[in-house]
Chains A and B, each alone.
Chain A
Amino acid sequence: CERALDINQDPNNPEVGKGTPELVFPAAVVSSAGALGGEYAILGGIWAQYWTQSSVSNQYREFDSYNVTQTALNGRFNEVFSGALNDYHFVIKKAQETEDWHYLLMGTVMKAYTYQLMVDLYDTLPYDEAFQGVENLTPAYEEGYEIYKKLIAELDNALAMEAGADPVDPTKDKALDVVFRFNMDNWVKFANTLKLKFYLRMVYAQSAEAEAGIRAMYDSGAQFLDTDAQLAIFEGTQDKSNPFFEFNFRRLNTTTNLRASVTFLSFLQTNADPRLSSYFSPTSGTTTYSGNHQGDYNNPDPALANISVARATAVDPVYFISEAESYFLQAEALERYYGGVGANELYNSGVEAAFAQYGVEDRAADFTASDGVYVYPASGDFESKLEAIIVQKWASFPGAHALEGYIEKNRTGYPKTSPVYSTDISYVPGQFVYPKNGVTGGQYPKRLIIPQDERNRNPNVPAIVPITTNVWWDKK
């Protein structure tokens, strides 16, 4: 009788003990890309004022009016924690058990990349008590700064272990590393660039620590990314596509929710930026481009049904840190701590790499030339240089990378905020405006609210902080 009852092994799913880093890592990376390059990128892209909600549909009205509550992004928050981060946790644990230092670095870099953006959005999150499963069902919350420090320490540890590791087994199926095909040099560069991004993010809140950290990297000859850290394995079919495309273009019954915001469109048009036709489709039935003012989705003007729509394709990569972003980060570091030596070149390389994402790299030199519209203000003060760097970074992010544009605006204040709405005669193209239907009384959103599933299930979630309250590093 006992033997007849011993039939409860699931024939449909393998037991968790069968998992290995090789098996789990790809799904974890895709989970990071799917959330941060999908719905979070849509929110980020609206808040970075690349896009505004169409007036003839209504998918993203809450985003565009800053009317976000705990219901917003609930599923994505869950996906990041129980999908991406928990799987990195599994990969790291297995890698430590088996002393597989390559996977330790890969898992740690992707975890740190993913965690940082979540901390940047939610400010406080569980860290030490997270991912304990049944051992701790209600993890305690920690300050973002504490989490930053822990992530940087883990990156340092993973880099140190990788430095002493044997080369990657050449017989390994390279496709299993969906980011760098086991080019570990690139993983080290990704880790260094990510550390640079961590330190620059805290530059106005913990300036001494940021400076020390950056100087330590340069002093030790750290190499930074000179290629894209990206996920570029998407296919042109349903359920296999770039998450921004799949979410916004394939799966919604209206494909035209995201329209060109006058904020970004005016910048591109003023500068005759050749990426315009990659970022947006022309106004219906024309070869020219038009946009709507940020958040003016209740405008009944029927002509607004035809304005430019955001563009993306199913096989677009999801950038974690793009080559251009790496150069811009380095340029900022050099300006801050090394008197700007080499910053101009890195800035120019950044613009060129950003143009190269859309196949117009041969035009970049015209723009960065001394008479070009994107010329580096080499003789200007620090703020004018920082503005040039951040604005170019901002202009490179639309698409699955859009969230970074919003976060960097909060950190640096660039692009600048306009004192008037974009319908005003004195409006300066490219400056942020408070959206027409905003519900936060003129205040811009600085964070998100921990979503409702987490609030309902974890009594340790802190009380709701208004979305207009700055996160810990936002001190400029």
Chain B
Amino acid sequence: QDRRISGRVTAAADGSPISGVSVFAVGTNVAAQTDEQGAFTINAPQAVMALEFRFLGYTTQRVDIGNQSVINVQLTEDAASLDEVVVTALGISRDAKSLGYSATKVDSEDITRTSPVSMFDGLQGKIAGANITSQSGAPGASTKVVLRGYSSISGNNQPLYVIDGVPVNNSTFGEAEPVNRSTDFGNNANDINPADIESINVLKGAGATSLYGSRAANGVIVITTKKGKAGKISVDLNHSTTLSSILMLPRLQNTFGQGWSGIFDPIEQGSWGPRFDGANRLWGNTVDNARLVKPFVALENNIRDFYDTGAELNTNIAVSGGNEQSTFYLSYGNISSDGIVPTDADSYNRNTLSLRGSTKYEKFNASGSINYVGRKAKFIATGQGTNTGATMFQELIQFPRDISIVDGKDYEAKFYDINTFYTPYAQNPYFVLNENGNDFNSDRVYGNAEVGYEFANWLSSTVRVGGDFTNSRLKDWQAINRPDGNSPNASRQPDVGGVMEEARYFGEFNTDVLLNFNAPINEDFTFDGLLGWNYNQRETRVQTSAITNLTVPEFYNLSNSSAPPTSSADYTKRRLFGAYAQANFGFRDYLFLSLNARNDWSSTLPMGKNSFFYPAANLSLVLTDLAPSLKDNGISFAKLRASLGQTGNDAGVYLLSSLLTGGDVLLGFGNITFPLGGVGSFEVANQIGNSALEPEITTEYELGADVRFLNNRVGFDFSYYNKRTDGQILPVPIAHTSGYGFLVMNFGLVENKGIELAVNVTPVKSDVFSWDLNYVFARNRNKVLELPEGLNEVVIASGYDIDFVAIKGQPLGVYKGPVEERDPNGNVVVNPSNGIPTQADDKEVFGNSQRDFTMGLTNTLRLNNWSLGFAFDYRKGGKFWSYTSQLTDFIGNSVRTTYNDRNPYIFPNSVNKITDSEGNVSYVENTTPIDVENYYSLFNNGSTTQTESRRTVLDKTSLRLRDVTLSYAFSQTVASRIGLQGLSLTAFGRNLLLWVPAENGFIDPDVSTYNNDLRGDLGEFAGGPTTRSYGLSLRATF
């Protein structure tokens, strides 16, 4: 006979009811769950002596029944696991201890401490295994996030971003042509207002991510937004003002001045002239029979003086509230930022508006959100410019060391205008800054709607629909800059001016239908699971028109040219269906097994062969629950975990067939494009399609442990993973004598393996003073294990002579460049006429982009109402290519151009090569010194001959003081006196200090002008400086 027992479960902290608590009749398989009011009813057999109450995040409680028929229970939050409720795949919360994989959670406070524009700014160096870098110091610049190393050679290594269970778009706008003119208007993930984020969970391994399907192979960033809470309406107001300044500029020589070949030349843009002697010299052009005069001394800060202080205002207001049934959250955020370049040519303005709500009615629940993001930005183009116009950073770094840049601020004044600027080889950067520019506008709406129905205590269903739609418009223009034919600068190629307009649309539509099971079998076994179905469609439209050769100066419209505009349109559309299932088993709250599987059908794979399946399993064992005696030995928590999983990835669009493309002949410099002479023509495309493509599959296993000692005062979290991505889909470069340049195929095997360690220590903890220390360490090793038969390497990107390539047996992304020719004894072959090395036939490998390891250290100290935090980020090893170093070499500005004090010297161990008329080769010792006339040639002995290219590939190591924050939270009593619930003030600094190795005297190694993926690791092409910033923020809650 059963006993009927009822009662109510409430939270010990505030007495609020807790729904969904599992109630077990101990020793049987009888169980029940609490309802919305926390009430439960259970029919327990007579023999049952006790009930057990379990709920995620709360301490499990066992209550003896005795002869009670009503049992009311107060559950207390579980200190050990309180912070460890993790939102996993598809928005499902799970107790961290049940997870068999590593998941890192970051809370709102950590994200917003320094009032960043991007949610990632506060996370750099704080998540083991997540490599996060800002692409430049420009406001709104994009952020690169790579989890556990690069695994895809084709370049999509970005994690999937999921907001409240719905995937969103993280496309970028810009990166048109890194060498010539590239712009970076940010990535869409940076659109999300950090102030709206409740928490971010970083899921790195395949075991954790496979339910998300195709795009999750590189990990998932799960974002949970803030929601309204039951209770009175609360208003949160937040404002910060931030100033920014230069963090790092090239360190240049200050010994030699304007000139070339060792001789003073008043119109040269290089510093290959004589040693500074302080004497007055005439320089620049003769204009109206006048010359400028200046002392021949270095102006050490001539570049720094060009820059301003940047300013950023960041304001957020959120109103939220609700009752037992319904909640709402409404927020508005504005960021208005103007960077360190004078004028507003580097500016960023973003408005975000979010509305979220939820409601419940009987067995139904519904929630939804809608978000708007409006972006307006202007960006300083990087690269070397084109014949339509120059780029600014390139002009800034090629000034002689003795010439003032700021004196040219009035770029229409005599000696500084187009015709009379001191040199024909460069342009006044103020002209470029003021006359060439761009306007970027973007409107984005994203959101989701979700309806749930509870069929029974153990069975519910959810339908979730999400959409993300972005419309962007870019206008980019360059002014005519044409020296008069009889002016001193007549020999310079004129900039003909141009206008480019581009409209882009991105739309994503996603639907998930979920059936959730939650069936506590008995007190020993628990089971929950889900079945799901997914539909995803992504669509892009890009329309571009451009003109060159402006007819009317300073009038920027597509009509303003004698030649018709060139236009192009590009459309893509892809669809995917997925079916998935997950089953989670628990045993006695210490052993957990999770199995999941997914099958996808993709439109981008061959019809009939477009289905692919991938499973995952993970296991968690909580030792401290298995053997509670461990707790007596100072081990407060110990868990072992293991996971094995796969994720599949479909192809890009339209790779299955061979195509025709519009006639376009590449000349090397410039092209010839059709229509031409009244004729249109198409050519056979250089890429061979492949109708037998298969999905690429990533297989990963992971082992880990989470151990905490001394009452959780010391904790270690360790992971080892091994990830292999096989059958990558890539247009593989093939010999052009086959008639084609690329063949789309599955190929290649890339392995990433590594370790991640997080250590948390609380050396001091008291009511008055506490000190928390968080250390993360990660080391990833990747390797290209296979390339297609007969292919030695795949070039990922190139900058001048440096190729960034995948080579079998080497890490993904090694740098190769030309080197000196050598004789059989290893001596350097030099040209007998000038003593400069000749170039060897084959390029050599200079190293790879992979870091030896990364680590971060965060300290937080609290004293009463004061809180001080500071974080260091150290990234050791790896290389990057720097065009800034190459250009400052060429121009004689870099410190290394002062080698041997620029005195003539014989290249060490050099020989001359003698070829007789029979073609026999011999070598004799070289006696020709490199003299001062030819010194510059050593650094630039030709447009494609760069025997010294090795030195442009630099060590990427950096140590940064990422951030410092000092906060004061006014006490509740003080706050309430002025009608507030809470009030705090924070002074903060971001990116305050940077240390780099001596060989990198050029640029912050985080800067990349290529893209925010693998290609971006090539390096920078005339990139801008990064910034340090510092500010004050105020937060008030009403």
Residues of A within 8 A of B (CB): 1-2, 4-16, 18-19, 23-28, 30-31, 33-35, 38-39, 58-62, 65, 67, 69-72, 75-79, 81-83, 85-87, 89-90, 125-126, 130-134, 136-139, 175-176, 178, 233-235, 237-241, 243, 246-248, 250-256, 284, 298, 300, 302, 305, 436-443, 449, 452-454, 456-459, 464, 466, 468-469
Which 5 interchain pairs have the tightest Cβ spacing?
A: A233-B677, A27-B663, A86-B739, A458-B735, A251-B669
Q: A33-B665, A39-B667, A131-B739 are in contact. List 14 more A-B contacts (CB 8 A).
A: A13-B685, A26-B676, A62-B944, A72-B944, A78-B741, A83-B686, A132-B739, A241-B670, A246-B669, A298-B933, A298-B934, A439-B831, A456-B792, A458-B735
Cβ of B739 and Cβ of A89 under 8 Å apart? Answer: yes
* Other-chain residue from A133, A254, A459 in contact with B740 (beta carbon distance below 8 A): A133
Nearest-neighbour CB distance to chain B for A48, whole angstroms, equals: 19
Given contacts A132-B738, A457-B733, contact A24 B684 (CB under 8 A): yes
Chain B positions near chain A (C-beta within 8 angstroms)? 260-261, 263, 265, 385, 387, 425, 491-493, 496, 548-549, 562-563, 566, 569-571, 573-575, 577, 601-604, 607, 610, 653-654, 656-661, 663-674, 676-679, 681-686, 688, 690, 733-741, 743, 790-793, 801, 818, 831, 833-834, 838-843, 913-915, 917, 919, 933-934, 937, 940-945
Q: Tell me if B656 and A8 are in contact (CB < 8 A).
A: yes
Q: How far is the CA of A327 from the CA of B741 in the complex (A)?
A: 39
Asked if B735 contacts A139 (CB within 8 A), the reply is: yes
Cα–Cα distance between A15 and B659 once the two chains are bound (Å):
4
Question: Given A16-B658, A453-B733 in contact, is the A247-B667 Cβ separation under 8 Å?
Answer: yes
In the assembled complex, 27 residue pairs joining A and B whose CB atoms fall closer than 8 Å, in A order, are: A5-B607, A9-B654, A14-B659, A16-B660, A24-B660, A24-B682, A26-B679, A26-B681, A27-B683, A30-B672, A62-B942, A62-B945, A131-B739, A133-B688, A134-B743, A136-B738, A233-B676, A235-B676, A235-B677, A243-B667, A246-B670, A250-B387, A253-B492, A254-B492, A436-B833, A457-B790, A458-B790
By the criterion CB–CB under 8 Å, are A13 and B839 in contact? no
Q: Evaluate whether A8 and B670 lie within 8 angstroms (CB atoms) in the complex, with A24-B681, A438-B833 already known.
A: no
B677→A298 contact, CB < 8 A: no
Contacts of B660 in A (CB 8 A): 13-16, 18-19, 23-24
In contact, B563 and A8 (Cβ under 8 angstroms): no
Contact present for B941 and A130 (CB under 8 Å) = no
Q: Do A247 and B657 touch (CB < 8 A)?
A: no
Q: A5: which B residues are within 8 A, CB to CB? A: 575, 577, 601-603, 607, 610
Q: How far is the CA of A210 from the CA of B692 in the complex (A)?
A: 49
Query: Which chain B positions have C-beta within 8 A of A459?
Result: 790
Please, which residue of chain A has its CB at the minimum distance from the CB of B933? A300
Given A82-B686, A300-B261, decide whether A441 and B734 contact each other with a Cβ distance below 8 A: no
State whether A67 touches B838 (Cβ < 8 A). yes
Determine the chain A residues whose CB is within 8 A of the CB of B601 once the complex forms: 1, 5
Give CA–CA (A92, B683) in the complex, Å: 14
Q: Which residues of B have CB within 8 Å of A15? A: 657-660
Residue pair A7, B603 in contact (C-beta under 8 Å): yes
Q: State the Cβ distance, B270 to closest chain A Cβ, in Å.
A: 12
Contact call A449/B841, Cβ cutoff below 8 A: yes
Instruction: Assess whether A19 is in contact with B943, with CB atoms less than 8 Å apart.
Output: no
Bound: A387/B607 CA distance, A:
66
A8 near B676 (CB under 8 angstroms)? no
**Given known A8-B653, A16-B657, A71-B944, contact A458–B737 (CB-CB < 8 A):** yes
In the complex, the chain B residue whose C-beta lies closest to that of A1 is B577
Chain A residue at minimum C-beta to C-beta distance from B805: A456
Query: How distant is B248 from chain A, measured CB to nearest CB, in Å?
Result: 28
Q: What B residues does A8 contact at CB under 8 A?
A: 574, 603-604, 607, 653-654, 656
Per the bound structure, the CA–CA distance linking A61 and B942 in Å amounts to 5
| A468 touches which of B737, B919, B945 (Cβ 8 Å) | B919
Contact A38 to B667, CB < 8 A, known contacts A26-B674, A178-B679: yes
- Across chains A and B, the number of contacting residue pairs, with CB separation under 8 Å, is 319
Task: From known contacts A10-B654, A31-B665, infer whether A456 and B934 are also in contact, taking CB-CB under 8 Å.
Answer: no
In the complex, are the beta carbons of A454 and B657 less than 8 A apart? no
Q: Is the CB of B672 within 8 A of A175?
A: no
Contact call A81/B665, Cβ cutoff below 8 A: no
Task: Name the contact of A454 in the complex, choosing from B659, B736, B818, B934 (C-beta under 8 A).
Answer: B736
Contact status A27-B563, CB under 8 Å: no
A12 and B572 CA atoms in complex are apart in Å by 9
Of A76, A238, A442, A449, the contact of B670 (CB 8 Å cutoff): A238
Q: Which residues of B contact A243 (CB under 8 A)?
A: 665, 667, 670, 672
CA gap between A418 and B945 in the complex, in Å = 28
A139 to B739, CA, bound (A): 10
B672 contacts A137, C-beta separation under 8 Å: no
Contact yes or no, A81 B670, CB < 8 A: no
Residues of chain A with a CB closer than 8 A to B831's CB = 65, 67, 437, 439
Choose one: A19, A248, A251, A256; the contact of B491 (CB below 8 Å). Answer: A256
- What's the nearest-Cβ distance from chain B to residue A1, in Å? 6
Chain A minimum-CB-distance residue to B669? A251
Identity of the chain B residue whose Cβ is nearest the Cβ of A242 in the assembled complex: B672
Q: Give the docked Cα–Cα distance between A438 and B140 (Å).
A: 50
Known: A26-B679, A61-B943. A10 touches B737 (CB 8 A): no
The answer to whether B654 touches A12, judged by C-beta atoms less than 8 angstroms apart, is yes
